């Protein structure tokens, strides 16, 4: 199926790139046998809406949706998926972790979010999830916070308010980007009314992909960041598949 771009073409967020292939310059680089290298596919989980369109479009049934909820990463690049799953978030360095590991207070700023990321962020405070037991709490004021949790692509109309809120959080501070919009602008990344995600305005420490991310994915991200789970560099299971 070399040269097929069906998945890339249907993706509403342009999250899929086909790298290399017979026609491409890249294909001959480091290619000793002289045969053209096969094209590779790269999925940007930071844009992905998890909408299933690529799977449905693939004529070779080569794509499947995984059931692994662990998706959060520490860098933007770690969300670029090749043959392997995302390189999962590692904990904060020791000094910062000592500060936040047992008590992390977050101010949530919705900056163009559609209220789905907000809802599944908020649900973690209900009794079914109870993030309070891990020492994590959403607080009312940035002055009381250790960091920001940002949703939405950061609309131009929220840019100043986000900046002021960030500045009002005492240092050292963390930023967590939740959802495709906050990571990359997501579906909205070409709209002139937005900035292309939180990273355009403030430094991001944790990326939690999804549209919206499942509450488990958000919680998993928090706990990895704080070193409560995980440890050495881990990769999410790209092979696991549930219907």
Partner 1 sequence: MSGRRLVHTENAEVLPVGDVPVVPVVTFRETVIDSVRDGARLVAFFGRPQEDRRLLVFAVLAMPDAGPLGVLAMAVDGRYPALTGACPQAHLFERELAEQWGVVPEGHPWLKPMRFHRSWQPGRDAWGRDPEQDPRPGVTDFYSVEGEEIHEVAVGPVHAGVIEPGHFRFQCHGEVVLHLEIALGYQHRGIERALVGGPDKRTMPFMETAAGDTSIGHATAYCQAREALAHSTVPPRAMALRGVALELERIANHVGDLGALAGDVGFLPTASYCGRIRGDVLNLSALLCGSRFGRGFIRPGGVGYDVTAGMIAELQDRLAEAARDAAEAIGLMWDTPSVTERFEDTGTVSRETCMEIGLVGPAARACGVDRDVRQDAPFGIYRFTHIPTVTWDTGDVFGRAHVREIEILRSVAFIQEQLTNLPRGGTLAAVAPPAPESLVVSLVEGWRGEICHAVLTDGAGRFARYKIVDPSFHNWFGLALAMRGEPISDFPLCNKSFNLSYCGHDL
By CB under 8 A, residue 121 contacts partner 1: yes
* Binding residues with partner 1: total (CB under 8 A): 54
User: How many CB atoms within 10 Å of residue 4?
Assistant: 17
Instruction: Provide the minimum distance between the beta carbon of 186 and partner 1 in the complex, in angstroms, as a whole number.
Output: 8
By CB under 8 A, residue 208 contacts partner 1: no
Nearer to partner 1 among residue 62 and residue 160 (C-beta): 160
* 220, 72 Cβ separation under 8 angstroms: yes
Interface with partner 1 (CB under 8 A), residue from 15, 131, 183, 187? 187
First to last CA, the chain: 24
Q: CB-hemisphere CA count at 13 Å for 212?
A: 20
The DSSP element (H or E) to which 134 belongs, if any, is none
Strands (E), 37-103: 40-44, 80-81
Taking CB under 8 A as the rule, which mask of x and - marks residues 74-113 in contact with partner 1?
A: ---------------------------------xxxxxxx
By CB under 8 A, residue 166 contacts partner 1: no
Instruction: Provide the minimum distance between the beta carbon of 79 and partner 1 in the complex, in angstroms, as a whole number.
Output: 19
Q: In this structure, are strands 136-138 and 206-208 parallel, antiparallel, or unpaired?
A: unpaired
By CB under 8 A, residue 49 contacts partner 1: yes
For the beta sheet containing 206-208, the strands, ordered from the edge strand earlier in sequence to the opposite edge, are: 136-138, 104-110, 147-151, 174-178, 206-208
Distances (CA, A) of 140 to 25, 107, 137, 144: 53, 7, 10, 8
By CB under 8 A, residue 194 contacts partner 1: yes
Rounded to whole angstroms, how far apart are CA atoms 81 and 87? 9
Instruction: Provide the minimum distance between the beta carbon of 85 and partner 1 in the complex, in angstroms, as a whole number.
Output: 18
By CB under 8 A, residue 31 contacts partner 1: no
By CB under 8 A, residue 127 contacts partner 1: yes
The stretch near partner 1 (CB under 8 A) out of 48-56, 71-79, 97-105, 169-177 is 48-56
Interface with partner 1 (CB under 8 A), residue from 157, 163, 167, 233? 157
Rounded to whole angstroms, how far apart are CA atoms 111 and 49? 18
Binding site for partner 1 (CB under 8 A): 9-13, 49-53, 65, 107-123, 125-128, 138, 140-142, 152-153, 155-158, 160-161, 165, 187-188, 191-194, 211-212, 214
């Amino acid at each position: 199926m070399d040269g097929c771009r069906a998945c890339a073409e249907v993706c509403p967020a342009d999250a899929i790139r086909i790298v290399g292939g017979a026609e491409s310059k890249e294909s001959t680089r480091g290619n000793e046998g002289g045969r053209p290298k096969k094209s590779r596919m790269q999925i940007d989980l930071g844009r992905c809406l998890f909408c299933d369109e690529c799977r449905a479009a693939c004529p070779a049934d080569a794509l499947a949706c995984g059931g692994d909820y662990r998706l959060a990463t520490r860098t933007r690049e770690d969300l670029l998926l090749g043959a392997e799953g995302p390189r999962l978030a590692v904990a904060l360095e020791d000094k910062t972790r000592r500060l936040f590991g047992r008590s992390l207070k977050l101010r949530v700023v919705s900056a163009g979010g559609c209220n789905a990321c907000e809802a599944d962020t908020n649900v973690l405070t209900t009794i079914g999830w109870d993030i309070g037991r891990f020492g994590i709490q959403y607080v009312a004021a940035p002055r009381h916070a250790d960091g920001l949790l940002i949703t939405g692509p950061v609309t131009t109309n929220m840019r100043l308010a986000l900046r002021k809120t960030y500045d009002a959080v005492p240092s050292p501070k963390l930023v967590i980007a939740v959802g495709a919009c906050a990571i990359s602008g997501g579906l909205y990344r070409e709209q002139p009314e937005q900035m292309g995600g939180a990273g355009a305005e403030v430094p991001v420490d944790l990326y939690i992909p999804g549209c919206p991310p499942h509450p488990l994915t958000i919680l998993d991200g928090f706990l990895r960041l704080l070193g409560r789970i995980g440890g050495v560099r881990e990769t999410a299971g790209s092979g696991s598949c549930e219907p």
